[in-house]
Amino acid sequence: MTKLLQQNIAKHISLSDEETETFCSLFQQKLIRKKDFLLRAGQVCRFEGFVTKGLFRVYHIDQNGFDQILYFAVENWWITDIDSFTNGIPSQLFIEALEDSEVLLISKKDKEFAYTNLPEIEKLFRVMTQKTHVALQRRMIDNLSKTADQRYLDFIEKYPQLFQRLSNLQIAAYLGISHEFLSKIRRKIAGRK
């Protein structure tokens, strides 16, 4: 379970074997069945998670009752509601397993312990936060400047392995379009080939 986490850490920072072992020991393994929730809106998020197996969707339900998917998380990805986790406020998000999944969770207290006792960990999370901000900024720009067709083609190209694991309904919710509109886009693209 922790081997994938250790590899992820090593991509960003250098830790001794002892430091890596200490940091990894702060995580708790959790198994989540398909369609179960790691977090529901209204709960305070008490973890940052690292996905070791499976697939999650992180989403919000808008005032009209539609799912708005912020992102998907697969193996080797981090997952949390950073606003709720950082500020101790009720979450606006749901984190649901789309497959039987396994995740390693670290609490805020244990993360703070790591910051104090393993200074390189602060660098790890700073680097990951920067990468997350870049990805969110790019997604916002794409949503504002690209057509739904372009966003769909970009999604397929950027996440080919993820694309195969999702339903059309889930992809449509991520792209911010209706399932019917996604079907039209797919027919149009298939007609070009």
- In one-letter notation, the amino acid at residue 179 is H
Q: Residue 188: its pLDDT value, please?
A: 87
Region 43-59 average pLDDT: 97
Region 55-67 average pLDDT: 95
From residue 67, alpha-carbon distances to 1, 41, 53, 130, 175 in Å are 31, 12, 24, 26, 11
Give the pLDDT band of residue 30 (cuts 50, 70, 90). very high
Please report where in the chains the tokens 């083609």 appear, as a residue: 153
User: Rounded distance, CA 63 to CA 104, Å?
Assistant: 32
Judge whether residue 193 has pLDDT over 70: no
Domain boundaries, the chain: 2-117
**Cβ–Cβ contacts within 10 Å for residue 81, how many?**
26
Q: What is the CATH number of domain 2-117?
A: 2.60.120.10
Judge whether residue 33 has pLDDT over 90: yes
Query: What mean pLDDT is reported for the chain?
Result: 94
* pLDDT tens digits, 81-139: 999 999 999 999 999 999 999 999 999 999 999 999 999 999 999 999 999 999 999 99
Give the pLDDT band of residue 192 (cuts 50, 70, 90). confident
Give the pLDDT band of residue 191 (cuts 50, 70, 90). confident
C-alpha atoms less than 13 angstroms from C-alpha of 95 in its C-beta half-sphere:
25
Region 161-176 average pLDDT: 91
Q: Residue 2: its pLDDT value, please?
A: 85
Nearest to 49 by CA among 99, 16, 11, 4: 4
Contacts of 75-78 with C-beta under 8 Å, sequence gap 24+, read 75/4, 75/51, 76/4, 76/7, 76/8, 76/50, 76/51, 77/50, 77/51, 78/48, 78/49, 78/50, 78/51, 78/128
Contact call for residues 71 and 162 (beta carbons, < 8 A):
no
Nearest to 25 by CA among 163, 150, 99, 121: 121
Region 31-48 average pLDDT: 98
Region 8-13 average pLDDT: 94
Region 66-84 average pLDDT: 95
